[in-house]
Amino acid sequence: MTRLLIKASIILAVSEMAVMTLLPYSGAWGHTYSYLLDPLLMLLFALGPLYLLLRGERTKLDKQNALDSKLHVIVNDLWSASLHTLSAEKLFDRILSEILDNSPITLQRKGAIFLVEDGELRLKSSAGFSDEHKRLCGTVPPGRCLCGTVLQTGEPVYAGEVEERHHIRPPGITPHGHYCMPIKSGGQVIGVLNLYLDQGHRRDAAEEKFLASVCAITARIIEGKKLESSLFQMQKMQALNRFAAGISHDFNNILGVIGAYCSTAAKALPPGSSAGGDISEICVAVERGARLTKQLHLFSRQASAEEQAIDINPLIDNSADIIRRLAGGAVKVELKTAGSPLMVKCSRSQLEQVLLNLAVNARDAMPGGGTLSVSASRQAICFPSTRQCLDAALITMADTGEGMTQEVREKIFEPFFTTKPEGKGSGLGLAIVHGIVRQHGGEIVVRSAPGSGTRFDIYLPLHQASNPE
């Protein structure tokens, strides 16, 4: 309103100056009716500009009301969709569909939603994309094309036409423009909304503000779903922990009795008895059961764990021999420790268990041999998913094995999930790794793709008393 009044005042002032300039040349200057003519002429001069000004402001107001109305519809529909138990893929499809169908902006029926994973954009939903287009835009690194620029800068990107910033150009591309908007949470870019415009569509601040509001709602939904998933996983883990603790205790007692009778029976058999082989198999089965019980006991976190400040570097050096033995002769093990101490407060035995479990996992992923790299370094990092920032000791274990699909990668830390043949794995190894790392206040990140190997990054908080800034 203030700006409107200022503009109107300027128009009236300019009109008055024009009248004051022209009136002396009209011959009416000095006559008694000139005092009436002055304001009348000023209004006459100002009438047209004032009309155009008010009409423009009314147009802007109508457009803003339309944007607000559509935003209200989209918000209601998106919140409604978020309350349903939809898969992540279907939820993103629903969000994109709501935006394209209800937006008051003139859009092509084409767009995409990307989420940030491992520092890159991953395509999660698209409309109007060919299979080749989806392949080309499946992964977008920072700075590449318009969406990568949004990830790199954190700012909206507008393009009125296909230009030099369009690094990704699928076959059959037609003239178009773009609004690429960041989806932010806590000031960090967690995704990008990419919408297609008709070529020549003019950039509009009100449209960008509308899309920014839509992205803010989308970010809230994404974070809410992550929190919901985390809470569900936490509840499931707590239930499994209680179950595993009870089972391991009772099962261990049963195995103790079976093992004792098995040993007694083996000693009582006469030499060369045909039952000796059967008794031996029972004893071996008892030992396997005992190992599984130990894993269950560790998974349930009921095992005592005395924490102390230790340096990661000698821990890795001291574990080198057993890692090499576990990996086998066909796997080359490379170690690289940090140049300075990395003190963390942890249970030495549990951290060694983490290294051994990951080494076994890497060995099984390289049946034909390969390379297992183990390194330690210091790194400061923030995790958008948990909103945790750490000055951390980073332990990296990377192999050159078969790699994993995204579907497998999303489930590898779930208890009893395994891709190994029946009888070859309990599905507890990586669940134990995840539990130990989180128990020590750390984070674990896995990066993998089919044919590209697997990398585990373990971040453990540095012991501040020994690592002053």
> What confidence tens digit (pLDDT) does each residue in 158-178 have?
998 888 888 888 888 888 999
Give the whole-angstrom CA distance, residue 326 versus residue 242: 31
Band the pLDDT of 332: cuts 50, 70, 90. very high
Q: Residue 326 pLDDT > 90, yes or no? A: no
**Residues 157 and 150 sit within 8 Å (Cβ to Cβ):** yes
Write the pLDDT tens digit of every residue in 411-457.
888 777 777 765 566 667 788 888 888 888 888 889 988 888 999 99
pLDDT of residue 468: 44
Do 376 and 336 contact (CB within 8 A), yes or no?
yes
Region of poorest pLDDT, from 25-39, 273-287, 330-344: 25-39
Helix axes 205-268 and 34-82, enclosed angle (nearest 10): 10
What local confidence, expressed as pLDDT, does residue 297 receive?
A: 66
- The mean pLDDT of the chain is 79
**Per-residue pLDDT at 302:** 45
The listed range with the strongest mean pLDDT (256-270, 295-309, 389-403) is: 389-403
The pLDDT score that the predictor gives to residue 416 is 72
Q: Would you state the structure tokens that stand for residue 19, as one six-digit string?
A: 């009248």
- Residue ranges of domains in the chain, CATH in brackets: 2-67 (no CATH), 85-203 (3.30.450.40), 231-299 (1.10.287.130), 308-466 (3.30.565.10)
Identity of residue 59: T
For residue 120, which amino acid is it? E
Query: Residue 231's pLDDT is what?
Result: 65
Asked whether residue 61 carries a pLDDT value surpassing 70, the answer given is no
- Residue 150: per-residue pLDDT: 93
- pLDDT mean over 179-186: 90
The token pair at 235 is 């509840």
Strands 370-383 and 443-448, bridge-based pairing: unpaired
Q: Are 79 and 221 in contact (CB under 8 A)?
A: yes
pLDDT class of 372 with cuts at 50, 70, 90: very high
Tell me the DSSP string of 112-179: EEEEEETTEEEEEEEES--HHHHHHTSEE-TTSHHHHHHHHH-S-EEESS--TT-----TT--S-EEE
Q: Is the pLDDT of residue 385 over 60?
A: no
303 vs 293: which has the higher pLDDT: 293
Mean pLDDT, residues 198-215: 85
Output the pLDDT for position 466.
46
How many Cα atoms sit within 13 Å of 165 on the Cβ side? 16
Q: Span 137-151, mean pLDDT?
A: 92
| Mean pLDDT to the nearest integer, 58-84 | 64
What is the structure's pLDDT at 23? 59
As a whole number, mean pLDDT of residues 200-225 equals: 83
At residue 280 the predicted structure's pLDDT band, cuts being 50, 70 and 90, is confident
Is 437 strand, coil or helix?
A: helix
- Under 8 Å between Cβ of 141 and 120: yes
pLDDT tens digits, 21-55 = 665 655 555 555 555 666 666 666 677 776 677 77
Structure tokens given for 69 = 């109305």
This model's pTM is above 0.85: no
Cα–Cα–Cα angle for 382, 433, 283, rounded to 5 degrees: 180
According to DSSP, residue 469 is labeled -
Highest mean pLDDT among 38-47, 225-234, 457-466: 457-466
Tokens 């393009």 belong to residue = 159
Q: Which of 458, 437, 432, 433 is nearest to 375 (CA)?
A: 458
Q: Which residue has the higher pLDDT, 178 or 296?
A: 178
Q: What is the pLDDT of residue 400?
A: 93
Model confidence at 73, in pLDDT bands (50, 70, 90)?
Answer: low
For β-strands 308-311 and 177-185, DSSP reports them as: unpaired
Q: What residues contact residue 376 under an 8 Å CB cut-off, 6+ apart?
A: 312, 313, 316, 336, 337, 338, 342, 393, 394, 395, 396
What's the confidence (pLDDT) of residue 268? 84
Q: Cα–Cα distance between 229 and 225 in angstroms, integer? A: 6
Whether 113 shows a pLDDT value over 80: the answer reads: yes
Of the listed ranges 57-66, 124-133, 158-167, the least confidently predicted one is 57-66
> Got the DSSP string for 164-201?
TT-----TT--S-EEEEEEEEETTEEEEEEEEEE-TTP
Residue 375: pLDDT band (50, 70, 90) is very high
- Among positive and negative, which fits the CA dihedral 376, 454, 232, 424? negative
Of the chain, the percentage scoring pLDDT greater than 70 comes to 73
Greater pLDDT, 333 or 87: 333
d(CA 453, CA 430): 16
- Highest mean pLDDT of the ranges 41-55, 71-85, 87-101, 433-447: 433-447
Q: Is the model's pLDDT at 301 over the cut of 60?
A: no
Q: H/E/C letters for each residue in 251-313?
A: HHHHHHHHHHHHHHHHHHCCCCCCCHHHHHHHHHHHHHHHHHHHHHHHHCCCCCCCCEEEEHH
